[in-house]
Amino acid sequence: MSKYLVTGGAGFIGSNYIRFLLRKYPEAVVVNLDKLTYAGNLENLKDVENDHRYRFVKGDICDEALVNDLVVEADIVVNFAAESHVDRSIGAPDDFIKTDIFGAFALLEAARKNHIDRFIQISTDEVYGSIDQGSFTEDHPLMPSSPYSASKTGADRIAFSYFVTYGVPVQITRCSNNFGPYHYPEKLIPLFVTNALEDKALPIYGDGKNVRDWIYVEDHCEGIDFVLRNGELGEVYNIGGGNEKTNMEITDYILAKLEKPATLKEFVKDRPGHDQRYSLDCSKLHAMGWGPKHSFEQAMDKTLQWYIDHPDWWKKIKSGEYLDYYKNQYSSASL
């Protein structure tokens, strides 16, 4: 029996991961610890909430006593919990430092004090910073450039130090940009898809030439599972989709598929410190036998269909706090 403690499981990737675990492993027991910040949404797990193998605990990963109680019961800890949006980290870095760094530390301390089989720290490709040409391997120096990516780098390296210093069975994954169902509509793809569906403008930062590598969220979940079962302790693994696209290419793809006019494109003020390009060299995991199963087009089409089929999910989110935030952040009248 595998007893998982998944943190941040009410968010985008965490909820997809919990669904993946319960589907793939009948013997899995999953506790989901989530603070339910603006990004946490129990609607994301409606279909599994009555599964007897699943339990939700509302709480903060910075709460050392609570975290300790939950780690005692777990074999495997997978830490997704984080403040995750770069733009918000520019406006208000505080919670990023608290959750992404101190929260990871609290979890690692609990893992140090109690026996566990595995601690997976979900890191990000953003820890490497931007690269104009070529791709980052796992041993490339880390040069994060936003408060978000710097906080994630702190957690990434603290996790590594707990392996080296205390022998905590840590593994670290650094994934590229995910997309798929339940993606909070403040991030590029869900924001642009839902805006286009509502005939609202798509706010493109700068010249739209920044490049991201996109991976379907299910492929990321499988990658984490693969690392857990086949990876070495103390190692870092890049997980990428192999789909590098400019933001303009993503925008054009969405507009074409949804049969919406190019006039919805709106160039807005650039993100301060906007990383130009992310690119991962995933040969380490590929050599071990992992690779993404979905093509970009297949996965995008599934994702577009999901947003078309679930307007209640995203309309509720977009009508509330989200709007106030964006009104303060950007002048785009169309939001």
* CA distance linking residue 61 with residue 88, whole number of Å: 20
Q: Give the residue from 166, 119, 96, 167 showing the smallest Cα distance to 5.
A: 119
One of 109, 126, 156, 244 is an active-site residue; which one?
Answer: 126
Say which of 109, 125, 222, 244 is annotated catalytic.
Answer: 125
Determine the Cα angle at 270 with ends 268 and 272, to 5°: 150
61 binds, among ligand TDX, ligand NAD, none (CB under 5 to 8 A by kind): ligand NAD
Select the binding partner of residue 86 from ligand NAD, ligand TDX, none (C-beta < 5 to 8 A, by kind): ligand TDX
126 is catalytic: yes
CA angle 114, 119, 120 (to 5 degrees): 165
**Residue 12 interacting entry, from ligand TDX, ligand NAD, none, C-beta within 5 to 8 Å by type:** ligand NAD
Residues 6 or more apart whose CB falls under 8 angstroms from that of 173 comprise 120, 121, 122, 123, 223, 224, 227, 236, 237, 238, 239
Between 201 and 278, whose beta carbon lies closer to ligand NAD? 278
Q: Which of 211, 277, 276 is nearest to 247 (CA)?
A: 211
Stretch that binds ligand NAD, among 33-41, 112-120, 188-196, 321-329 (CB under 6 A): 33-41
Q: Which is nearer to ligand TDX, 25 or 267 (CB)?
A: 267
Q: Which of 4, 5, 6, 7 binds ligand NAD (CB under 6 A)?
A: 7
Round to whole Å and give the CA distance between 88 and 314. 19
Q: For residue 47, give both structure tokens.
A: 């279909």
**DSSP helix/strand/coil, 34:** strand
Of the candidates 189, 186, 322, 330, the residue with the CA atom closest to the CA atom of residue 272: 330
Residue placing its CB nearer to ligand TDX in the complex, 11 or 110: 11
Residue whose beta carbon is closest to ligand TDX: 124
Residue 177 binds to ligand NAD (criterion: CB under 6 A) = yes
- Strand order from edge to edge, sheet including 76-79: 54-58, 29-34, 3-7, 76-79, 118-124, 170-175, 236-239
* Complex with ligand NAD: residue 190 or 264, whichever CB lies closer: 190
211: tokens are: 């490049």
In whole angstroms, what is the distance from residue 308 CA to residue 319 CA?
17
Among 30, 40, 255, 307, binds ligand NAD (CB under 6 A): 40
- Segment lying near ligand NAD (by CB under 6 A), choices 46-54, 174-182, 282-290, 295-303: 174-182
Q: Which is nearer to ligand NAD, 203 or 223 (CB)?
A: 223
191 binds ligand NAD (CB under 6 A): no
Please name which of 238, 224, 203, 251 lies closest in space to residue 131, comparing C-alpha atoms.
238
- How far apart are alpha carbons 114 and 134 in whole angstroms? 41
- In the set 31, 82, 116, 159, which binds ligand NAD (CB under 6 A)? 82
Total binding residues toward ligand NAD, as defined by CB under 6 A: 31
- Residue 146: CB minimum distance to ligand NAD, A: 12
| Member of 4, 5, 12, 216 binding ligand NAD (CB under 6 A) | 12
Question: Is 324 annotated in the active site?
Answer: no
Q: Is 64 a catalytic residue?
A: no
Q: Shortest Cβ contact with ligand NAD: which residue?
A: 11
Q: Footprint of ligand NAD on this chain (CB under 6 A)?
A: 7-8, 10-14, 33-37, 39-40, 60-62, 80-84, 99, 103, 122, 124, 152, 175, 177-178, 184
**What residues act catalytically?**
125-126, 148
